[in-house]
Structures are given as C-alpha cells and as structure tokens.
Structure 1
Amino acid sequence: MNGSSAPSSGSPTSAPADAPTMPLVIAHRGASADRRENTLEAFVEAEAQGADGVELDVRLTSDEQLVLAHDPRLGDGTLIRSTTASGLREIEALETLPDALGVAPGIVNVEVKSDEPAEHLARRMKVLELVLSDLARRPAGGRYVVSTFDLDILALLASMGCEWPTAYLTMGVPKPELAMDVAASMGCTAYNPWHPEVDRALVDGAHDRGLEVWTWTVNDLDAAVGLARLGVDALITDHPAAMRAHLADAGFVARDPADEAAAARG
C-alpha cells in the first residue's frame, strides 16, 4: 500500500517478464477457515499459509479496553461495548491487539469497529487513541493499515495525523465514485469495497485517485482470478494458501521479497 506492502512468504518462480504480479493475499480475521477467527492461532496459521498479512477487528469495552471481535455481541448476546473486558473473558476468550501484533505476519490491517451512538464521539476518540498507541509501541518497520466503515472515524484519523495508511470500507454504496472521492479527500491510501461490486471502472477510478483497491471477502477462487485481472491490489480471504496457489496456477507471480523490502524502506 504505497510503500506499506508486505513481502510474500514464497520465493518468486521463473515466469515471463510480463507475467502479472499477484495481488496481496490478506487473511481475513486470520486463516479463519481453519482456525477460530480473530485469534492468535488464526494469525499464526495465516503465516504458515503464506499470507502477506492479516485483517483483524477491534472493539472497545465498557472499561475502555480493546478486544478483538467482529460482531458487537458475543455468542450469548452479551454486548461488548456495555461489558468490561474481564467480564467478557469470563464468557469467551478474546485476544488483545498488542498480543495479535506480536504474532501477526506481514501487513496488519486493523479494522476499527464502532456501533456507538453518533453522539459518543469521546469513545470513538478513545478507541483510536488506543489503536494508534498500540501500533506506535511496535518495533520500527512494521506495516499497518487502519480501516473502517465509519466516516466519523476516518475524519478523526485524519485530524489526529495518523501516520499509518488508512482505508475506507464500503458495501452497497449507490455511487462508488463519490465514496472514492471521500476516501481520497480524507487522505486514505486504499478503498476497500465488497468484492461483488468491483469492476474495471471502479478499479480504474480508484487508481486514478491514487487509491489502492483491497476487496473482501473473496473465497471463490475463480472470482479471485477475475478480480486480480481487473487490477485489484489486495484480496482479503478466509483461504490464503488456496488463494495463492490458484493465482499462481493462473499465471500470477509472487512478489519478490527483495523488491518489497526496498519499497517498504521508501
């Protein structure tokens, strides 16, 4: 992502000079087809499967702690934002962002979840302060992306001078070109649409605005090849190993780690 891309785990194979480069393969909540999502085991498995990075979800508890969870409620209906971190862990084992950052491979795409009422700006600020603080504590050279569906959060990230790339997630927007304009105006480096809504015009429009296209959640391998041929920059999937193998069979070449490392250094 504009200097933030992670190297592939595999070595590039011999291929024609004009062979297309494989998009980044990002493990959705870790290798979630094979391990429980948003867990350290899922992130370790993602690395074993050759993912270029992982996507994970963070939410804020009632006592202002970050936990990894996609849904606003636990399986028994407990509302995360209304429960303390310790109370949640009595019901279900939830990971923390620092622990995840310690094991996650390559790029880490932190999706900030928010089901807060619109007037609760202070809690939106708090979740971002915690996320950015946790990222800042990591060793230099880490590659992170902060993504969200929430335009208020994107605006706050811009106002806070976030030093990491940001991405605008969308699904079902009637006019993608307007959404991409918003993403570009807020300093995003990527536009992350739901994959059935991606076509050539969207990819070209994003690239014309200086935005990469990271699309989700792509588990149909043939559809992934079609998206790669459209020029998307990253495919977010539950099946990173199968995705990489299928793209390679379709003629896409794994990224050269030396080139990626040089790009990351700027």
Structure 2
Amino acid sequence: MVQQPFQQEKNIYGGCKMNTIYFKNKKTEMIAHRGLSALERENTNAAFVAAGNRSYFGIETDVYATKDGVFVLHHDAMTKEGQLVIEEQDYETLKQVVMCDVDGELRNDLVLPLLTDYIRICKKYNKKAILEIKPKMDDETVARLVDEIRQQDYLSGTIFISFHWDNLIRLRALLPNQPLQFLVQREEEYSIEQLVQHQIDLDIYHKSVTKKMVKEIHKNGLLINCWTCNHIKDAERMVACGVDFITTNVLEGK
C-alpha cells in the first residue's frame, strides 16, 4: 500500500510513540498495517508481536521471494539499510541486514522476517494474516507461497491481497474459496463484474470510499477493506460508510 516513506513516520506520530490511538468502534474489523508500524519498525517481528498483543483482527504485511526463492517480508523492493534489491539477493545476504527502529537506532533484533515467522506470530496470537503479494509472481512462485502457508496449517487464517490482478487470479485457481482482496487506489481501477465473477473482495484507498460504493459491494455479496486510515475523523467516516475492515498504522477501536 502506498504511504509516506519510513523516514517520515516519526513526523506523523511525533517520534517513538508508545501506544495506539483509540476511537469508538465495535463493528468494523481493524487491521494493523505492516504490523503495528506506528510503534515498531514496519514489517518486523517486533511490529507483528505488538499488533498481536492488541485487539486487531488482522496483521498486514508484504511478501517478496529472494533470488534463491525464500519468502521474506518488506514493503519496498529495495532494503532501506544497504540498498539491496530483495529479488536480486539470496537470503544469506539479506539476513545480515540490521534495521533501524522507529527512533532511528540500529537494533540487532530487527532483521528481515521470514514468511514463516510472520505466520507463526499470527497463529500464536489468533490474528488473520493479511498477506500482500507485492511483486507480480508466476504460477510456480504463487504455488510455493500457498504451500508454505499450508505447511503451517494457516491458510484458513490468511487473506491474500495484491495490486496485481494476475496474482489474485493465480491464487483463485489454486484456492477456489480463499478470501482474496484486490488493492486499488481509485474506483475506476476495478470492475464490479470482475470482482463478482472471481469472488474477490475490494481493498481501496480510504479517501475513495463512498457509501454508494460500499452498498454496491455488499449488494453483490462482497466485502470491502480500506487503506491506510490513520486519523480518527477518517476512520469514523469509514465506519459510517459501512466498510468491513479498516487498515491502519496506529488506530485501534474500542
């Protein structure tokens, strides 16, 4: 999902924030974007555990395959520390990269997580794994991804999302009943007919959401997620519109 670069996170939340921001919400499921990324470095085990210890329905992350086929979690195609292109490096090289915390300090425990780490954490804390397939993946890679989650017995706890429609079609061929969500920024980027045909839910930028859109999605038996909603007024509007999920860096419903 598109948002400000990592370095600007501190400006948004005023530095190393120690807790979530609560708002009144008991009906819309909340998803921690890249883990609890306002408190811990995004897409790290620390961020996943922080989300696991709170009331979130699910924990979102982004997956890539390394040059040697290992599934790792990171938002950008290139690491911030070391400037390594993930798909061009083997895992042995990438696992040596030590990352900075949200306060800008290097922490030896902050390394590129494996997909298996993330699934284990989601399973332990009984959270849905909201897994974004970041790049376009071929049939073989998608099949291996599915098999890795199946081996951990957590396909039932996983929702796949992607901006790449072909990734979702490949998943649907393998998993006829699996929850899938198509990521878009604007309404004109999706076709309700295609979503219905393949039974793929919608995951759209929150500023593009309207009550009419939500009503149409629900009328067709689909669900709607929105990203990335970090301010209470925006979240309250999403609840009023009737979305099923809100993806956020920092908000927590109560």
Aligned-residue RMSD, C-alpha: 2.1
For 1:183 and 1:128, locate their aligned partners in 2 and report how far apart those are by CA, in whole Å: 20
Contact 1:146–1:167 at 8 Å: present in 2 too? yes
User: Unaligned 5+ residue runs, structure 1?
Assistant: 1-18, 117-122, 246-266
SS at match of 2:159: strand
Q: 1:187 aligns with which of 190, 193, 199?
A: 199
Give the percent of matched residue pairs that are identical in Structure 1 and Structure 2: 24
TM-aligned CA deviation for residue 219 of structure 1: 0.3
**Which residue does 2:159 correspond to in 1?**
145
SS at match of 2:188: coil
2:62 partner amino acid: D
**Which residue does 1:31 correspond to in 2?**
36
**Which residue does 2:212 correspond to in 1?**
201
**Which residue does 2:63 correspond to in 1?**
58
Say whether residues 1:231 and 2:242 are aligned partners.
yes
Once the two structures are superposed, residues 61-102 of structure 1 have per-residue CA deviations (whole angstroms, 9 ceiling, x without a partner) of 111111001111111332111111111122342111111111
TM-aligned CA deviation for residue 127 of structure 1: 2.9
For 2:151 and 2:177, locate their aligned partners in 1 and report how far apart those are by CA, in whole Å: 13
For 1:141 and 1:96, locate their aligned partners in 2 and report how far apart those are by CA, in whole Å: 17
TM-score, with length taken from structure 2: 0.78
For 1:203 and 1:154, locate their aligned partners in 2 and report how far apart those are by CA, in whole Å: 21
TM-aligned CA deviation for residue 162 of structure 1: 4.8
TM-score, with length taken from structure 1: 0.75
**Which residue does 2:84 correspond to in 1?**
78
**Which residue does 2:116 correspond to in 1?**
98
For 2:50 and 2:71, locate their aligned partners in 1 and report how far apart those are by CA, in whole Å: 23
1:41 partner amino acid: A
Say whether residues 1:113 and 2:134 are aligned partners.
yes
TM-aligned CA deviation for residue 160 of structure 1: 2.0
Say whether residues 1:215 and 2:229 are aligned partners.
no
Once the two structures are superposed, residues 13-50 of structure 1 have per-residue CA deviations (whole angstroms, 9 ceiling, x without a partner) of xxxxxx98520011001101001111111111112221
Once the two structures are superposed, residues 148-207 of structure 1 have per-residue CA deviations (whole angstroms, 9 ceiling, x without a partner) of 11011112112223542111111135355x2x322222221x200011100011101111
Q: 2:253 aligns with which of 224, 237, 244?
A: 244
Q: Which has the higher contact order (CA 8 A, sep 6+)?
A: 1
Say whether residues 1:158 and 2:167 are aligned partners.
no
Once the two structures are superposed, residues 202-238 of structure 1 have per-residue CA deviations (whole angstroms, 9 ceiling, x without a partner) of 1011111211011011101111011101100000111
SS at match of 2:32: strand
Runs of 4+ in structure 1 deviating by more than 3 angstroms, as ranges, are 139-142
Hey, which of these two has a bigger chunk of strand by percent? 2
Aligned residue pairs total: 215
**Which residue does 2:138 correspond to in 1?**
124
Structure 1 residues 222 and 35, CA, compared in 2 at 3 Å: closer, same or farther? same
User: Unaligned 5+ residue runs, structure 2?
Assistant: 1-23, 99-110
Contact 2:160–2:180 at 8 Å: present in 1 too? yes
For 2:75 and 2:86, locate their aligned partners in 1 and report how far apart those are by CA, in whole Å: 10
1:112 partner amino acid: I
Contact 1:58–1:113 at 8 Å: present in 2 too? yes
Say whether residues 1:167 and 2:178 are aligned partners.
no
